[in-house]
Amino acid sequence: MKVLLVGSGGREHALAWRLARSGPHVEIHAAPGNPGIARIGHCHPVRSDDLEGLLDLARQLRIDLVVVGPEAPLVAGLADVLRHAGIAVFGPSAAAAQIEGSKGFAKDVLLAAGVPTARTLARVEAPCVIKADGLAAGKGVFVCTTAAEVEAGLQGAAAFGGEIVVEELLIGSELSLFALCDGTRAIALTPAQDFKRAYDGDTGPNTGGMGAYSPVPGISRADAQQLVDTIHLPVLEELARRGSPFVGLLYAGLMLTADGPRVIEFNARFGDPETQVVLPLLEGDLLGALAAAAAGDLSGVELGIASAAAVTVVVAGGDYPARGDSGSEITGLDAAEATGALVFHAGTAHDAEHRIVTNGGRVLTVTGVGANLAAARAVAYAGVEQIHFAGARHRTDIALIASNKETSHG
């Protein structure tokens, strides 16, 4: 079976790695991919926003299933272009991807589906959250608790152009909950916790995510499926009712508040870096499941989840999230893997001498798997310690609080 993965980040490397383990007859292609994916499959120099180029490539290679990583091509209609040409694709139509592409649309769908979310505020005053509508790669959200932060947030959100949304500040712990969807059915994957802020102690600006762990203590697999049944399913029903059924990965960003779970946002694709902890724990035929979802029938698909834990730590460029890094040589990748960690490439490239160099903000994600979060964390950080490039930076507190709780509970 030939799979074409669209994208070039750590999420796509983790998908390539996991799909390659789905069986002996899997052939992985990626567009454009990255140097990590190139060790698993074939990378093709077609950008993820080149819809016609991707269609041509899928036809040329006689691809059986296209799996789309990033949101932008989905919102631009890549899945529609491929489906129209008769090519199976795991990823929603442009219409269904509006659940991520437009915060206004998402609010409307949530309201119609009766799924609880943050209230939109009529007045802009602290405390509140100010968001740029539309895609902003996780960087268009400003949490404001003071008047000065409101001022800065308004300016920051305005810089993205377009509409601004102001909503109630939700208090609680966050959960990323992925579900594989075939338009009507949804299978919960293991819940994960993402670390959005740039610096230790959840300080600094929001980023695409600096690390993640799974499972989340206190949320069982049954709890996760129940959350999916009460949050994802009504949204699937509402999208189907509107004539745009959602086929792909529906990712709910939840806040577990004192009044119950509230949706912060939906994404129309796998999360990054959560995928780098969710997939290493997944048991069973992932490729078969994605193909079944793409074909519109997940009934009978069963996926297991290992009774282990995974922690991933993002190694970013020195100026991330303000700007990415390029051309700095990266060393220690083999040594990192030798510690037992999984090293997923995110923003890397080959230079003219075929050395691996930085090429982005989030450069690598290093995952450790272990019997519990503490063990997984130790493996991930042992890997991170081996990796070097000019300006390399990572958070030191990924999964720290959760792993301490785990040990104190025995």
Rounded to whole angstroms, the Cα distance separating 207 from 319 reads 12
Number of residues that bind ligand AMP (CB under 6 A): 16
Tokens linked to 322: 């303000």
Report how far residue 156's alpha carbon sits from residue 166's, in angstroms, rounded to the nearest whole number.
13
170 binds, among ligand AMP, ligand GLY, none (CB under 5 to 8 A by kind): ligand AMP
Q: How far is the CB of 267 from ligand GLY (least distance, A)?
A: 5
Q: How many residues of this chain bind ligand GLY (CB under 6 A)?
A: 8
Window 99-138: contact mask with ligand GLY (x via CB under 6 A): ---------------------------------------x
Residue 71 binds which one of ligand GLY, ligand AMP, none, with CB within 5 to 8 A depending on kind? none
Contacting ligand AMP within 319-358 (CB under 6 A): none
Which of ligand AMP, ligand GLY, none binds 317 (CB below 5-8 Å, type-dependent)? none
Identify which of 81, 93, 75, 90 has the alpha carbon closest to the alpha carbon of residue 240.
93
Kindly report the backbone phi and psi dihedral angles of residue 142, in degrees, each rounded to the nearest multiple of 5, phi listed first: -125, 115
What Cα–Cα distance (Å) separates residue 350 from each residue in 47, 110, 330, 359? 16, 44, 10, 9
Q: Choosing among ligand AMP, ligand GLY, none, which partner's interface includes residue 271 (Cβ < 5 to 8 Å by kind)?
A: ligand GLY
The residues in 198-217 that bind ligand GLY, with binding defined as CB under 6 A, are: 208-209
Interface stretch with ligand AMP, choices 3-11, 94-102, 165-173, 228-236 (CB under 6 A): 165-173
Tokens of 272: 């990054």
Listed residue (191, 198, 196) closest to 214, CA to CA: 191
Half-sphere exposure of 233 (CA within 13 A, CB side): 11
Name 408's Cβ contacts closer than 8 Å, sequence gap at least 6.
Answer: none
Residue 29 interacting entry, from ligand GLY, ligand AMP, none, C-beta within 5 to 8 Å by type: none
- Could you tell me the two tokens for 98? 């509006």
Residue closer to ligand GLY, measured from CB, 342 or 357: 342
Asked if 36 is part of the footprint of ligand GLY (rule: CB under 6 A), the reply reads no
Q: How far apart are CA 350 and CA 196, in angstroms?
A: 28
Told to check if 12 binds ligand GLY by CB under 6 A, we report no
DSSP-derived pairing of the beta strands 362-370 and 309-316: antiparallel
Q: Are 387 and 333 in contact (CB under 8 A)?
A: yes
Task: Write out the two tokens for 289.
Answer: 């499941």
* Position 170 contacts ligand AMP (CB under 6 A): yes
Of 265 and 325, which has the nearer Cβ to ligand AMP?
Answer: 265
Interface with ligand AMP in residues 195-224 (CB under 6 A) = 196, 206
The footprint of ligand AMP (CB under 6 A) covers: 118, 129, 131, 138, 141, 143, 167-170, 174, 196, 206, 253, 264-265
